[in-house]
């Protein structure tokens, strides 16, 4: 490497190393804040030295050693201070300063494992879902508080406070920064995957703001998903989630029409789907299935894959989709899944099949005032030739939706029923 | 942003892959490097290309189409392999390329080219 490295180049190297650095340090100092500070200190030293010396052959190890040295120095200082107090109390004893040695040992742990430990800690269920997402984006994704605030359309102060509180909660709970094992691992893993998918969905189906999608957040979640797949190559659901995100993201270029409205799946220009992401998604799904994937993410990915494989809406394998919904319903029971299942069955086996299933769930409390329910029922009735009933369902749906474009669409469908009555 | 990262050809790569202790060690180092890229979440796809002697060029001139068989001259301008990465910016791509093991036995070059994105077309 040559001398004369620019600050920009050094900061780029630091960004690559940052998460691992914090992970390694956090396990030792048991404090995310302190680990972040130590990592930052190491960057400052690199910025002052590397322009003269050139970038070391292994910049990650260099930064870790520097940060570690500072951590040890700080601990020594604390010990000295403590010892002075002891002297005053005339209680001098032969205590051995073994902490640096301990740190040395802890530092030599497998780095991938440390990173995973930090991810599990940032996504610990003691934290709220929002706090987990913000902290993960901060310490693993390396986003600034300002970037996170913009992504979640929040203020920098709110996000900063959320992160501070999360770190404090982690400290109070005395979390170990280790990768959980056994049964706890399964439970904690679902908490990690939930956070990654939450970040993805915040980008994919933006719940607030004027933009319907924020692709930057999707990319961040995909990156996290790919990292997890690298770190946990034997977990079916990790690959299931990755497959789901890659396939959904493949549709981003086709999801928003020229008028800024969401384009439904069946009406998207499939030529604009990102074939590279589809292939990556199908590969990840194959891996999930090899690992015996039958969890909620693998099944949802399998559903997404059915659409990704179809060259046109008419080519969609609806019987397979219906069968997948039957299985998804068992592992992820929800009225919304039931409704989608009814739609899939109507596409596969005709409108009567859809009507039968939708009538089974019509009383579910969660679906009361849920516009997609009467919209789906209207569609089944329309296709069954029961136009008067269909019209009334579409009108009900139009009054329930808060989305003006959707309401207009539903009213147009109601009018079409009236014309054909 | 997406970048395509090209490993440029050399006289060695144009001879085709020859298993020697040297090339085996390089492949191993490259495998490790690819693992790093994958674990960082930036690797989208990658592949190596056979020498240009196995390639063809099609020359366009108006309606004309003329097929030219490899190998091609200007060895150092040819491509021997590629990655497609999703990175935050060019600085990150450059930092990653710098830690790539030298892909060739002698001096070699790697070139980074950003892809056009949707936003580039919206003027």
Q: Mean of the pLDDT values across residues A360-388?
A: 91
Residues of B whose CB is below 8 A from A55: 98
Confidence of residue A224 (pLDDT cuts 50, 70, 90): very high
Name the DSSP letter for residue B114.
Answer: E
Distance from CA of B80 to the nearest CA of A (A): 21
- What DSSP string runs through A262-273? BPPGGGS-GGGS
The distance of A326 to chain B (nearest Cα, Å) reads 33
Residues of B in contact with A12 (CB under 8 A): 89, 91-92, 94-95
Q: Which position has the token pair 């989709």? A: A321
The whole-number pLDDT of residue A419 equals 79
| Whether residue A409 has pLDDT greater than 90 | no
Min Cα–Cα distance to chain A from B92, Å: 5
pLDDT in tens, A170-197: 999 988 888 998 888 888 999 999 999 9
Entry field: residues in chain B:
123
Q: Give the residue ranges of chain B where pLDDT is below 50.
A: none
Whether the CB of A223 is below 8 Å from some CB of chain B: the reply is yes
A55 touching chain B per CB within 8 A? yes
Confidence of residue A262 (pLDDT cuts 50, 70, 90): confident
Query: Using beta carbons and an 8 Å cutoff, which residues of B are at the interface with A?
Result: 35, 38-45, 84, 86, 88-89, 91-92, 94-96, 98, 118
Q: Please tell me the predicted confidence (pLDDT) of residue A108.
A: 46
Note whether B95 contacts A13, CB cutoff 8 Å: yes
At the topology level, CATH places domain B2-117 in Alpha-Beta Plaits (3.30.70)
B110/chain A closest Cα distance in angstroms? 15
Question: Residue A317: left (phi > 0), alpha (psi -120 to 50), or beta?
Answer: beta
Q: How far apart are the first and last CA of chain A?
A: 78
pLDDT computed for residue A255 by the predictor: 87
A2 pLDDT band, cuts 50/70/90, is low
Q: Is some CB atom of chain B closer than 8 A to the CB atom of A3?
A: no
Q: Is the peptide bond before B71 cis (omega within 30 degrees of 0)?
A: yes
Q: Among residues B71, B67, B37, B42, which one has the least CA distance to residue B54?
A: B71
The structural domains of chain A, with segments of one domain joined by +, span 7-93+100-107
In this prediction, residues A213-242 reach a mean pLDDT of: 92
Residue A92 has pLDDT above 50, yes or no: no
CB atoms within 10 A of CB A164: 13
Would you state the structure tokens that stand for residue A409, as one six-digit string?
A: 């669409």
- pLDDT tens sequence across A378-399: 999 999 999 999 999 999 999 9
Considering chain A, what is the average pLDDT of its residues?
88
pLDDT for A147 equals 87
Q: What are the pLDDT digits (tens) for A112-170? A: 789 999 999 999 999 999 999 999 999 999 989 988 888 888 899 999 999 999 999 99
Whether A412 contacts chain B with CB within 8 A: no
Residue A177 near residue A107 (C-beta atoms within 8 A): no
Q: What percent of chain A has pLDDT over 70?
A: 90
Any B CB within 8 A of A231 CB:
yes
If pLDDT is split at 50, 70 and 90, which confidence band does A110 have? low
Question: Which chain A residues are closer than 8 Å to B118 by Cβ?
Answer: 253
Q: Which of A58-62, A83-87, A364-368 has the lowest mean pLDDT?
A: A83-87
Residues of chain A contacting B47 with CB distance shorter than 8 Å: none
- Reported as a single tens digit per residue, the pLDDT across A324-340 is 999 999 999 999 899 99
Beta carbons within 8 Å of A15's beta carbon, 6+ residues apart: A142, B88, B92, B95
Q: Cβ contacts (< 8 Å) between B95 and chain A: which residues?
A: 9, 12-13, 15-16
CA distances from A187 to A125, A192, A228, A297 (A): 9, 9, 16, 15
Q: How confident is the prediction for chain B on average, in pLDDT? A: 93
Distances (CA, A) of A262 to A89, A236, A412, B72: 72, 31, 17, 48
Element (H, E) at A415: helix A404-420
> What's the pLDDT at A212?
65
Give chain B positions within 8 Å (CB) of A223.
41-42, 86
DSSP per position, A184-243: HHHHHHHHHHHHHHHHHHHHHS-SSSS-S--HHHHHHHHHHHHHHHHH-TT-HHHHHHHH
3-class secondary structure, A363: coil
The pair of structure tokens assigned to A289 is: 């299935």
pLDDT of residue A105: 47
Does B41 contact A222 at a Cβ distance shorter than 8 Å? yes
Angle between helices A59-88 and A7-29 (to 10 degrees): 50
Decide if pLDDT at A57 tops 90.
no
> 3-state DSSP call for residue B68?
strand
Q: Above 80 in pLDDT, residue A260?
A: no
User: What is the structure's pLDDT at A63?
Assistant: 95
For B66, the token pair is 């003329």
Contact A177, A117 (CB under 8 A): yes
Q: Can you tell me the ipTM of this complex?
A: 0.89
Closest CA to A393 of A376, A405, A409, A408: A376
Question: How far apart (Å, rounded) are the C-alpha atoms in residues A377 and A360?
Answer: 12
Question: In whole angstroms, what is the distance from residue A421 CA to residue A409 CA?
Answer: 19
As a whole number of angstroms, the distance between CA A394 and CA A411 comes to 7
Please choose, from the candidates A122, A94, A116, A131, the residue with its C-alpha nearest in 3D space to the C-alpha of residue A24.
A116
Hey, where are the domains in chain B?
2-117
Residue A111 pLDDT > 70: no
Contacting residues of B for A13, CB less than 8 Å apart: 95
A12·B91 Cβ contact <8 A: yes
Q: Chain B residues with CB inside 8 Å of A229's CB?
A: 38
Of A88-92, A195-199, A417-421, minimum mean pLDDT range = A88-92
**In angstroms, what CA-CA distances link B95 with A11, A349, A409, B31?**
9, 55, 50, 18
Which residues, 6 or more positions from A260, have their beta carbon under 8 angstroms from its beta carbon?
A: A212
pLDDT for B94: 96
d(CA A171, CA B73): 63
Q: Kindly determine whether residue B39 and residue A231, on different chains, have CB atoms separated by under 8 Å.
A: yes
pLDDT at A421: 62
Four-point Cα dihedral A189, A195, A201, A206, nearest 10: 170
């Amino acid at each position: 490497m040559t001398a004369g490295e620019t600050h920009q180049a050094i900061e780029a190297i630091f960004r690559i190393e940052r998460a691992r650095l914090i992970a390694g340090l956090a396990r030792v100092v048991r404090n995310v804040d302190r680990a972040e500070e130590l990592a930052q200190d190491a960057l400052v030293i690199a910025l002052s030295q590397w322009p003269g010396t050139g970038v070391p052959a292994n910049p990650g190890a260099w930064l870790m050693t520097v940060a570690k040295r500072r951590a040890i120095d700080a601990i020594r200082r604390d010990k000295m201070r403590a010892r002075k107090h002891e002297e005053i109390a005339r209680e001098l004893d032969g205590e051995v300063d073994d902490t640096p040695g301990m740190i040395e040992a802890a530092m030599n742990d497998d780095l991938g494992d440390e990173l995973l430990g930090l991810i599990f800690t940032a996504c610990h269920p003691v934290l709220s879902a929002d706090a987990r997402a913000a902290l993960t984006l901060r310490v693993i994704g390396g986003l600034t508080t300002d970037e996170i605030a913009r992504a979640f359309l929040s203020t920098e102060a709110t996000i900063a406070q959320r992160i501070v509180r999360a770190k404090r909660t982690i400290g109070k709970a005395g979390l170990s920064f280790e990768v959980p094992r056994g049964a706890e691992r399964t439970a904690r893993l679902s908490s990690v995957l939930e956070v990654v998918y939450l970040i993805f969905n915040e980008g994919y189906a933006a719940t607030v703001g004027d933009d319907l999608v924020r692709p930057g957040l999707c990319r961040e979640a995909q990156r996290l998903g790919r990292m997890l797949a690298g770190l946990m190559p034997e977990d079916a659901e990790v690959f299931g989630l990755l497959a789901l995100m890659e396939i959904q993201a493949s549709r981003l270029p086709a999801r928003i029409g020229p008028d800024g409205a969401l384009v439904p799946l069946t009406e998207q220009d499939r030529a604009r789907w990102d074939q590279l992401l589809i292939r990556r998604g199908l590969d990840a799904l194959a891996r999930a299935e090899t690992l015996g994937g039958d969890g909620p993410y693998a099944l949802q990915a399998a559903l997404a894959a059915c659409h990704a494989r179809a060259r046109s809406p008419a080519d969609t394998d609806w019987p397979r989709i219906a069968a997948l919904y039957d299985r998804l319903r068992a592992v992820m029971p929800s009225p919304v899944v039931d409704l989608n299942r009814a739609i899939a069955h109507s596409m596969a086996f005709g409108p009567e099949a859809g009507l039968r299933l939708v009538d089974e769930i019509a009383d579910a409390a969660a679906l009361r005032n849920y516009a997609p329910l009467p919209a789906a029922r209207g569609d089944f009735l329309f296709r069954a030739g029961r136009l008067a009933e269909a019209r009334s369902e579409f009108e009900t749906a139009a009054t329930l939706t808060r989305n003006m474009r959707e309401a207009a669409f539903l009213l147009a469908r109601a009018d079409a029923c009236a014309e054909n009555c | 942003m997406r970048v395509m990262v090209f490993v440029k050809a050399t006289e060695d790569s144009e001879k085709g892959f020859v298993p020697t202790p040297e090339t085996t060690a390089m492949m191993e180092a490259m495998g490790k490097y690819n693992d790093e890229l994958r674990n960082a979440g930036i690797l989208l796809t990658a592949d190596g290309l056979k020498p240009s002697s196995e390639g063809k060029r099609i020359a366009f001139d108006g309606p004309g189409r003329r097929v030219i068989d490899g190998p091609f001259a200007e060895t150092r301008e040819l491509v021997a392999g590629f990655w497609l990465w999703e990175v935050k910016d060019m600085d990150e791509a450059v930092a990653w390329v710098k830690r790539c093991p030298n892909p060739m036995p002698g001096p070699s070059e790697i070139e980074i080219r950003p892809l056009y994105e949707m936003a580039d077309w919206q003027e």
